[in-house]
Amino acid sequence: MTWQPLWNDGLIISAHAIAALAAMGAGAVQFATPKGTKLHLLLGYSWVGMMTLVAGSSFWIHEFRWWGPFSIIHLLSLLVLATLVYSVAAIRRGNLVAHRNSMVQLYVLALLLTGGFTLVPRRTMHAVLFGG
């Protein structure tokens, strides 16, 4: 494993990837620890910040261009941002089920599934993990 391909892609992509990796780890901790604690709240707000950075930074990444500088990935980023707002609002209203469901969906779909696509050959994270 070498991090050099990531650093070679510049600050925006590096920050995007590091925030996504940190969010994967923090999310895993969230799933494994008790809910409703101060730790859960602190880690949750940190996770929301990480995900905001991941989604927000994507608007300056234009590897795939379908509509001018944008692609379907940017629509996903808008959905992530909207879902983060929805999920935080849900827990503030006391709607635990909506909060839990939307956060789990974000973790699985926005991090794990889309993260898996970064591992295809000729993509940066493939080069980081597998070389080449």
* DSSP character string of the chain: --SHHHHHT-HHHHHHHHHHHHHHHHHHHHHHS-TTSHHHHHHHHHHHHHHHHHHHHGGG--SS-SBTTB-HHHHHHHHHHHHHHHHHHHHHTT-HHHHHHHHHHIIIIIIIIHHHHTTSTTSHHHHHHH--
Q: What is the pLDDT at residue 1?
A: 84
Q: What is the pLDDT at residue 71?
A: 66
Q: What is the pLDDT at residue 70?
A: 61
Domain boundaries, the chain: 4-130
Q: What is the pLDDT at residue 45?
A: 96
Q: What is the pLDDT at residue 116?
A: 84
Per-residue pLDDT of the chain (132 residues; tens, 9 = 90+): 889 989 998 999 999 999 999 999 999 999 999 999 999 999 999 999 999 999 999 988 866 656 666 667 888 899 999 999 999 999 999 999 999 999 999 999 989 988 888 888 888 898 999 986
Q: What is the pLDDT at residue 61?
A: 82
CB 8 within 8 A of CB 14: no
